[in-house]
Amino acid sequence: MKKNYGFNDYKFFTEMSKLAVRHQSFDLSLGLPDFEIDDRLRHYLKESADVITHSYESLSGNLLLIENIVKFNSQRINSLLLKKEEVNIVPCSTFALYTSLKSILEFGDEVIVIQPSYYTYAPSIVLNGGVPVYYDLDNDFAINWEKLQNCISSKTKAIIVNSPQNPTGKMWTAADWERLYQIIKNQEIYLISEEIYDIYCYDEIAHYSPFLHPELKKRTFSIFSFGKMFHATGWKVSYLLSSEDLLENFRSHQQYISYSSNAPCQYAIARYLEVFDPAENKKVLENKRNIFNELAKNTPLEIEQKAEGGFFQLVNFRNISKDKTDVEFSKWLTVEKKVSCLPLSAFYNSKQNSDYVRFSFAKRDVVIIQAMDHLRKNL
């Protein structure tokens, strides 16, 4: 029996975290925030126990939550003006990705995966009968439009884009989305846009969704995560934006997989959105990125590009080791130097090595400071 279709899976990620625990290392490997959620969010979850029926929500989700999502998106710097019919609540972003692909793919359709990328993308394609086509970014991690266009064939049915991107921290601009549209406009190609780090955009850069593009939005599934937004990943509530027609087809599959999402959490998130200020959470994470990057200057690790958004910072480690693979270096750093990270090659299906490792700065300040001070003294 095939277990993972030959792809990298979550086991490597969790193994690195377990390795950190076993060797009592500072764990900067996974994007799991170790700091508390807002007390107001806890309050609304407790309130939900007394004021909701605890029955299934509808396929589309809690109406108050949908209304507050519409309002929240209208208040962005790059304002998204939505209809309620364009919003769907989902259990998580992985569910949204998988079910979006299920709703558009036929056997043998190709889906372009821009690498490095999260490990769920290619398996979700294959499990839905599709064929992953990999486009590997160059070392500057910018899009080479000619190379991307060369990946498109008559069988191409979708492209998966993640912005802000995990693990590179790069972001797509309005100009990038327009370039993509010009490439795909004459072909039936859909866009799966994972935007789960949408509020975590730094250095005065504002998130720009493809759902703002008047033509792209007709063929886009935009995926957002309340778990990332509120650093409450265990709540398992996310949302999806898409056209009414695409959502109708999406729901025809959703009803047989999960039907609806956690009802008490939907209520709590709906109420919390009424008081939530995304700028506060962004400021906290941007400060953590800045702490990590400043302290990294005191080590041989080299930051070539600051993360523009998200939870992660890529670091070039070749000043420390010329011969170790990135996997070997990550394990060595975890075991011998007591700070855990992930190799960039773990985010590729087609690479066994790179010059980079990924650190998560979505940790308590004291953990970041202690970890980087330890590296300063021991590298």
User: Does the pTM of the predicted model rise above 0.85?
Assistant: yes
Tens place of pLDDT for every residue, the chain, 379 residues?
455 555 656 677 788 888 888 999 999 998 889 999 999 999 999 999 999 888 889 999 999 999 999 999 999 999 999 999 999 999 999 999 999 999 999 999 999 999 999 889 999 999 999 999 999 998 899 999 999 999 999 999 999 999 999 999 999 999 999 999 999 999 999 999 999 999 999 999 999 999 999 999 999 999 999 999 999 989 999 999 999 999 999 999 999 999 889 999 999 999 999 999 999 999 999 999 999 999 999 999 999 999 999 999 999 999 999 999 999 999 999 999 999 999 999 999 878 899 999 999 999 999 999 999 999 999 8
Query: Cα–Cα distance between 218 and 46 in angstroms, integer?
Result: 39
According to DSSP, residue 201 is labeled: B
Peptide bond into 116 cis (omega under 30): yes
Query: Cα–Cα distance between 124 and 119 in angstroms, integer?
Result: 9
Residue 99 has φ and ψ, to the nearest 5°, of -75, -30
Rg of the chain in Å (alpha carbons):
21
Burial pattern 295-321, b for ≥16 Cβ within 10 A else e, equals bbeebebbbeeebbbbbbbbbbbbebe
Helix, strand, coil % in the chain, rounded to nearest 5: 45, 15, 40
Domains of the chain (ranges plus CATH)?
10-37+278-378 (3.90.1150.10), 39-273 (3.40.640.10)
Query: Cα–Cα distance between 370 and 377 in angstroms, integer?
Result: 11
> How remote is the C-alpha of 370 from its chain's centroid?
27
